[in-house]
């Protein structure tokens, strides 16, 4: 499994990778500059959470490793790994409908709530999944 040893890193393609679900205790990285934003990540076996400029972006329970996380005007895409199935919450635009794909298979349309949060479950069980959410 490809946990992110440095907890948060910028990739050459402009995306970011973060999270380490193998950690027994919570660790964090704050004030990580990426594309003009200040990022903060908290991660360990029970939860992984990402914020950008103090705004909620990503959370998984239990903790995960996220690779190639990229936000665009149309949505977000990333690869996620973990030891067990994960409940993922994404911070997106409020009251907006999105098409959600896991491993290139549509799992349907979902709408965000007033806070812009979208919840989905991903089957991992020691593996990984590709997630794409688009308007």
Domain range list for the chain: 8-134
If DSSP codes are grouped into helix, strand and coil, which group holds residue 6?
Answer: coil
CATH class of domain segment(s) 8-134: mainly beta
Q: Over the stretch 100-122, which tens digit does the pLDDT of each residue have?
A: 999 999 999 999 999 999 999 99
Q: What is the C-alpha to C-alpha distance for residues 83 and 16, in angstroms, rounded to an integer?
A: 21
> What per-residue confidence (pLDDT) applies to 3?
79
**Number of other CB atoms surrounding residue 119 within 10 Å:** 12
Q: Over the stretch 66-102, which tens digit does the pLDDT of each residue have?
A: 999 999 989 999 999 999 999 999 999 999 999 999 9
Length of the chain: 135
> What per-residue confidence (pLDDT) applies to 125?
73
Task: Report pTM.
Answer: 0.95
Mean pLDDT of the chain: 95
Quick one: which of 33, 32, 15 has its CA closest to 78? 15
Strand 47-52 versus strand 55-61 pairing type: antiparallel
Q: What is the C-alpha to C-alpha distance for residues 129 and 120, in angstroms, rounded to an integer?
A: 12
């Amino acid at each position: 499994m490809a946990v992110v040893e440095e907890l948060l890193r910028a990739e050459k393609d402009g995306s970011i990778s973060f999270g380490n679900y193998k950690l027994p205790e919570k660790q964090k990285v704050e004030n990580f500059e990426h594309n003009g934003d200040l990022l903060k990540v908290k991660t360990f076996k029970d939860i992984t959470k990402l914020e950008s400029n103090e705004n909620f972006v990503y959370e998984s329970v239990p903790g995960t490793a996220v690779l190639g996380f990229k936000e665009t005007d149309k949505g977000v895409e990333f690869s996620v790994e973990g030891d067990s199935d994960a409940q993922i919450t994404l911070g997106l635009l409020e009251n907006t409908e999105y098409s959600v794909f896991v491993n290139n298979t549509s799992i349907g349309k979902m709408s965000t709530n007033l806070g812009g949060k979208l919840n989905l479950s991903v089957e991992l069980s020691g593996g990984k999944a590709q997630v794409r959410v688009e308007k």
